[in-house]
Chains A and B, each alone.
Chain A
Amino acid sequence: MEHEAEKSVQVQGGSSDSLESDPVSRVRKLLFRRMLIGIKDGRFFLGNFYCIDKQGNIILQDTVEYRSTRRSSPSPMEQRCIGLILIPSSCRTSCHVDVSLDEQLSLLSLNEK
C-alpha cells in the first residue's frame, strides 16, 4: 500500500508548555523508526534511525540503498543492503520518517499549538 501523502512537521511547535514539544525529545521518539533519506547524487537510503549529532549527521542501521539506473528519469531502481551507514548532513537533501496516519495527526495537532 503506497501513500503519496506528505505533510511537513512544523518546527515552531516547540513551545514551552509540554516536554513533548521539545524538538530534541521529539527526535528522540523517532529513534529506531524507519527513516528515508535522500542525498545529492539522487540515491535514497532506507534504514532504522540510530543516531544524530549536533551537526545533523545521521547514522542508519540495516540500511537499503536505492539508486536509479539511468541519469534520465523515469528509470528503474536498483537496491542493495549496505548495513550501518553514516550520512553526513552536507549531502542530505530530504529526510522522512514512516509514521502511522494517527501519529501524523497527533504530530500535526502538536504543531498547531
Chain B
Amino acid sequence: MAALDRANEPQTPVQLRPRIPSGDNSVWADVSPLLHAACQDLQEGDLIHGDNFNLYAAMSALEIMDPKMDSGMASTYYSLDEAIEKGAAPVPISADKTTDVRCIIDIMDHLLACEATWHKGHSLAQTVYSCLYLLRPERTSSHVLLHSYCQVIRATCKAVLSVVADARTHEEEDLFVMAYGLPLSGDGKERCLPLLNAVEETICRQLRASKTSSSKRRVSEDIEPLQNNPDLEEGYCKALLCRLRFRKHFYHLLMSMKRPQGGGLELAREHIASCISEIGHIRKSSDFLRASAPEMSEKNVENTTASGCQPIGFDASLNSRLSAPTPPRAIKIFCLEKALEYFVKLLHDLDVICSYSLDPSLEAALLFVVKFQKSQPDLISRAHLQLLLVQNGKLFGRYPMFSMITRAAGLPEAAENHEFQKNQLMVQLEQMVINLLKIICTNAAWQRRKLGKMLQDLRVIHVQLELAFKKEFGNTSNNENIGFKIFQHILVWLEEQTYWIAFRFLTVGFELELYADHDYCMVYWYIYIVLINLAEKKHLRIAMSSGAGKKKTKKKRDSLKDGGMNYQISDAVKFLQSQIYLAEGLGMMLAALRNECKIVPPQSPFSTEHEIFIQQFDLLLKACLPESISYQTYKESTAQANFSTLAMCDYFKVAHKMAKELKGNFANDPDTMAELGRIEQVAERNNIALTVISRLGSADPSMKISFTLCHHPFFATAIVKRS
C-alpha cells in the first residue's frame, strides 16, 4: 500500500511539502506506513478518534475531491494568472477585427445570461465573475469596447448588490450578496457612463458610415469601420448598439430608483421603456448573428449567446473558492432567451413599483405590496420596493411613521404632531410598522415566518399601551381630550392591524402549500374566526373615526352579520363579511365531510388532529389571537356539522349574494372588483357542489370529493365526481 502511494507521487508536481513549516523544534514524520498498518488492525466499522468525537459533527465534514463539496479542486487552470498566461482571455480577443467583434458580442450575451442567473440567487463569483475579463479590470483598458462594457457590468453589479444588501430581503437567497474578493467597483466609480457614451457615439457614426454608399465612404475617410467586412458592418454595429444601450439604460434605471423619496421614479420609467425596447432589438439581432457565426448553428434554446457560439474568457471553476464557505454548486447558466425573459419580467415589476402613486397612507402601501407580491416578483424588484417604502424611518422617506399611524387610526390631523409620539411605546410601535413594511416585501416563506413571530410582539405592545392608557386616564371617559383619543384610536387600529397580519399569515400558507386536504377544515375555521375579529375591529375603527364611536354598543359578530340593519356598516366591512360567510361555509362543509367520513384525518400516533392544530396555529395561539381559542373550541363548533341540515348552503348563498351586491359599490376599484368576482364564483360553485352532495347523500361510496384552488388563491372550490 505504501509502495502504491509512492507510485502515485509523480502526479504531484513537486515536493512542495517542505515549504510548509512544521512547528518549532519539530519535524514532519511520515506516518503513512503506520496508518496503513493501523487500518489493517482495525475491525470493520471501527474508528480511531478522541473523546470529543461527535459522529454527527463529523458528518458535516467537507469531502475533499468530491466535486459537489470541494470547491478547491484544481480544474483546467490552477489560478487566474495561469489562465491568462495560457491565453484563456486574450486582449484583443482576435487580431482579426471581425472575429474580435463577433467574440465580444458573445461575451456580452453570456454575461447577460450570467447576470440573470445571479439575480435568481446564485453566487456572483460563479456567474457574472466567471468572466476572466471582469476579474482583471486593468487588462482590458487598451480595448475600449470591451473595457467600457466590463466597467458598466461591474458598476451595475455593485448597484444591484447594494440595493439587496441594504434591503436585507435576501435571507433565503444568501448566496446573492456574497462578493468578497471580487473587483466590484473597478477603477473609478463615476467613469463607466462617459466611456460607454463615447463608445456608443463612435459605433453610431460607424453605423451611419456603413449605410452611405461606398463612393461617399471615401469622404468620411476619418471614420474607421468597426471591422473589416463591409457586408457585416451594419449588422454588427446594430447588434453592439442595442447591447450597449441596454446596459446604459439599465444602469440609469438603477440609479434613478435609488434617488431619495422616490424622486427618480418618473425618469426610471422612461429608462425601463428604453430597456424593454433594446431587449427587442437584441432579440432581433440574433438571426444576423447566427448567420455570421463561423459554423452555422441551428437555433438552440440552450444557447447563452445569440450567435450560438461558446463565449471566450469564462471559467467558473477558477474562483469557485471565493464562494466559500458554501460548497460549490452546480450552476446552470440561463440560456439567452430565458435571461431576456427574466429581464423583461424584472423591468415590468420595477415599472409597477415606479408607477405607484406614493399615496401617503399606510393601508394603501400595505395593500399595494400584497398586490405586488401576487405576481411573484424576484429578489431585485422586492428589494427596490422595500427601499422605496422605508427611507430614514419614514414612509417613502417623506411621511413620518407616527403621522401615518395616526392617520390610519382615523385621528384628526392635530394628532400628528402630538407629543405622544415621543412616548417609548409609540417609538416601538413605529419600529414595528417599519418592520412590517419590510417583512411583507420578502419572499413568501420568510415573510410568513416573520409575520407569525411579529404577532406576539404586537400583542405585547397592545397590552402595554392598554396599561399606559388606563394609568393615564383611569376610568374617566374624557373623550374630548386629544391624548385620550389618540390612545383609544391607536389601540383599536393596532388590533385591526394584528388581525390583518394573522389573516395574511394564514392565507400565505396556501401559497406555500403548507396545508394538506385534511387540514383545510381547521384552516378555514380559523380564517373564519380571524376574519370575524378583523371585521369587528375594522368596523369599530371606522365607526370611531366617523364620530359614531361614542355609541359604544356591543359589537357582537351576530350583529355584524345582520348586514347593516342597525348600524351604518361600511363597504370595507361588508366586503370582509362576504369572505366570512365563504370561510364559514367552507369550514362547515369540510367538517361535515369529516364527520360523515368523507375526509379521514390522519390516524398516525405522531400527528393527531390535535397536534396538527397546534403545529398549524402555534404562533396564533401563543399570541392569543383571538383569546380563548383552542383545539377544544374548534372541535365543539364543528362536531355537529352534517349534510342532513341544508342550513350550511346558506353560507355560500349569502356570500354569493353579498359579493354580487357589493360590486356596485366598488366600481372604481378594479382590484376589489376582481376579488368580489372570484368570491362570487367560488361561492356559487361550492353551493352547487354542496347541493349535489346533499342530494346524493354523502354515504354514496361512488362519490369522490376533492378541492381545488384554481378559482381563488385561498378559498378552495369543491369538485364532486362519481366514479
On A, residues with C-beta under 8 Å from B are 1-11, 14, 22-24, 26-28, 30-32, 34-36, 38-46, 50-56, 58-59, 65-75, 77-78, 80, 82-89, 91-101, 103-104, 107
Is B414 an interface residue when CB atoms closer than 8 A count as contact? no
Query: Which chain A positions have C-beta within 8 A of B21?
Result: 1-2
Give chain A nearest CB distance to B719 CB in angstroms. 52
With CB as the reference atom, state the residue of chain A lying closest to B43.
Answer: A54
Per the 8 Å Cβ criterion, residues 36-86 of B in contact with A are: 36-50, 53, 57-58, 60-65, 72-74, 77-79, 81-82
Within the assembled complex, what's the spacing in Å between the Cα atoms of A37 and B82? Answer: 25
Do residues A96 and B28 form an inter-chain contact, with CB atoms below 8 A?
A: yes
Contact A8/B38 with A42-B13, A66-B16, A93-B5 known, Cβ cut-off 8 Å: no
Question: A72–B53 contact, CB under 8 A?
Answer: no
C-alpha spacing A51/B48, complex, angstroms: 6
Q: A95-B35, A97-B31 are in contact. Are A52 and B48 (CB under 8 A)?
A: yes
Distance to closest chain A CB from B359 (angstroms): 51
Cβ of B347 to closest chain A Cβ, rounded Å: 39
B320 to A: closest C-beta gap in Å: 12
Are A26 and B72 in contact, with the CB atoms below 8 A?
A: no
Task: Decide if B321 is an interface residue (CB 8 Å cutoff).
Answer: yes
Residues of B contacting A85 with CB < 8 Å?
A: 61-64
Bound complex: CA A46 to CA B23 (Å) = 12
Partner of A56, one of B8, B16, B35: B35
Q: Looking at chain B, what size class is its interface with the partner chain?
A: 35 or more
- Which residue in chain B gives the minimum CB-CB distance to A14? B37
When chains A and B are docked, how far (Å) is the Cα of A3 from the Cα of B27?
6
Partner of B29, one of A7, A39, A59, A92: A7
Q: Please, which residue of chain B has its CB at the minimum distance from the CB of A92?
A: B5
**Contact across chains for A93 and B65 when beta carbons are under 8 A apart:** no
B19 and A77 form a contact (CB under 8 A): yes
The CA-CA distance from A8 to B321 in the complex, in Å, is 34
Q: Which residue of A lies closest to B22 (CB)?
A: A98
Given the contacts A68-B16, A85-B64, A93 and B8 also touching, CB distance less than 8 Å: yes
4 further A-B pairs in the complex, CB-CB below 8 A; given A23-B34, A31-B50, A96-B28:
A2-B22, A30-B31, A38-B12, A93-B5
Contact of B58 among A59, A65, A71 (CB under 8 A): A59
Question: B29, A24: Cβ atoms under 8 Å?
Answer: no
Q: Can you list 16 A-B pairs with a CB-CB distance of less than 8 A?
A: A1-B21, A6-B30, A7-B27, A8-B30, A11-B2, A24-B38, A41-B73, A44-B20, A52-B38, A54-B39, A74-B14, A85-B64, A86-B62, A93-B12, A97-B31, A99-B27
Given the complex of chains A and B, what is the CA–CA distance between A46 and B53 in angstroms? Answer: 19
- Closest residue of chain B to A69, judged by CB? B79
Taking a contact as CB atoms under 8 Å apart, the answer to whether B82 and A70 are in contact is yes
Number of A-B residue pairs having CB atoms within 8 Å of each other in the complex: 231
Asked if A84 contacts B78 (CB within 8 A), the reply is: no
Chain A residue nearest to B59 (CB atoms) is A86
Q: List, in ascending order, chain A residues with CB within 8 A of B46's CB.
A: 53-54
Give the CA-CA distance A23 to B14 in the complex, in Å: 30
- In the complex, are the beta carbons of A55 and B78 less than 8 A apart? no
Residues of chain B at the chain A interface (Cβ within 8 Å): 2, 5, 8-9, 11-14, 16-50, 53, 57-58, 60-65, 72-74, 77-79, 81-82, 321, 324-325
Residue of B nearest to A64 (CB): B20
Q: Do A104 and B27 contact each other (CB < 8 Å), given the known contacts A53-B42, A94-B5?
A: yes
The reply to whether B35 and A27 form a contact with Cβ atoms under 8 Å apart is yes
In the complex, which residues of chain B have a beta carbon less than 8 angstroms from the beta carbon of A69? 78-79, 81-82
Determine if B74 and A42 form an interchain contact, defined as CB atoms under 8 angstroms apart. yes
Quick check: B28 and A67 within 8 Å, CB to CB? no
Q: A28-B48, A67-B72 known; A6 and B28 CB under 8 Å? A: yes
- Give B584 Cβ to nearest chain A Cβ, in Å: 55
Q: How far is the CB of A112 from chain B (nearest CB, A)?
A: 15
Chain B positions within 8 Å of A36 at CB level: 17, 20, 22, 28
Contacts of A84 in B (CB 8 A): 57-58, 60-62
Task: Out of A31, A46, A72, A101, name the residue touching B27 (CB < 8 Å).
Answer: A101
Q: Give CA–CA (A97, B27) in the complex, Å.
A: 8
Contact between chains at B74 and A67 (CB < 8 Å): yes
Assess A91 versus B64: contact at CB under 8 Å? Given A40-B11, A101-B26.
yes
Instruction: Output the residue of A35, A92, A101 with the most chain B CB within 10 A.
Output: A92
Answer whether A66 and B63 are a contact pair too, CB < 8 Å, given A43-B74, A54-B45: no
Partner of A53, one of B26, B27, B47, B63: B47
Q: Are A44 and B321 in contact (CB under 8 A)?
A: no
> Cβ of B17 and Cβ of A38 under 8 Å apart?
yes
Most buried by A among B27, B30, B45, B82: B27
**A24 and B42 contacting across the interface, CB-CB below 8 Å:** yes
- B30–A94 touching, CB < 8 Å: yes
Q: Cβ of B72 and Cβ of A42 under 8 Å apart?
A: no
Residue on B nearest A37 in the bound complex, by CB: B64
Known: A11-B37, A40-B8. A54 touches B64 (CB 8 A): no
Contacts of B23 in A (CB 8 A): 34, 98, 100
**Beta-carbon nearest neighbor of B50 in chain A:** A31
Is the beta-carbon distance between B48 and A31 smaller than 8 angstroms?
Answer: yes
Q: In the complex, are the beta carbons of A11 and B33 less than 8 A apart?
A: yes
**Is there an interface contact between B34 and A50, defined as CB atoms closer than 8 Å?**
no
Complex CA distance for A35 and B20, rounded to whole angstroms: 11
What 8 A-B pairs have minimum CB-CB distances, sorted nearest first?
A69-B79, A73-B14, A96-B28, A23-B38, A23-B37, A27-B38, A86-B61, A3-B27
Nearest chain A CB to B9's CB is how many angstroms away?
6
Q: Which residues of B contact A31 (CB under 8 A)?
A: 48-50
Give the contacting residue for B53; candidates A34, A44, A50, A99; CB below 8 A: A50
How far apart are B80's CB and chain A's nearest CB, in angstroms? 9
Given the interface contacts A3-B27, A26-B34, A100-B26, does A82 sit within 8 Å of B81 by beta carbon? no
Q: How far is the CB of A14 from chain B (nearest CB, A)?
A: 6
List residues of chain A with CB within 8 A of the CB of B48.
24, 27-28, 31, 51-53
A26 to B36, CA, bound (A): 12
A100 to B26, CA, bound (A): 4
Closest CB-CB distance, A86 to chain B, in whole Å?
4
How far apart sit A52 and B57, CA to CA, in the bound complex (Å)?
Answer: 14
Question: A86 touching B63 by the CB < 8 A rule?
Answer: yes
Question: Is there an interface contact between B16 and A44, defined as CB atoms closer than 8 Å?
Answer: yes
Q: How far is the CA of A41 from the CA of B62 in the complex (A)?
A: 17
Question: Nearest Cβ distance between residue B455 and chain A, in whole angstroms?
Answer: 38
Residues of A with C-beta under 8 A to B62: 82-86
Chain A residues closer than 8 Å to B19, beta-carbon distance: 2, 77
Tell me the minimal C-beta distance from B385 to chain A in angstroms. Answer: 37
Are A24 and B41 within 8 A (Cβ)?
Answer: yes
Smallest CB–CB gap between A42 and chain B, Å? 5
Which interface residue of A28, A58, A82, A91 has the most chain B CB atoms within 10 A?
Answer: A82
Contact A100 B65, beta carbon cutoff 8 Å? no
Nearest CB on A from B557, distance (A):
58
Chain B neighbourhood of A68, CB < 8 A: 13-14, 16, 78
- Closest chain B residue, CB of each to CB of A85: B62
* Chain A residue with the shortest CB-CB distance to B321: A80
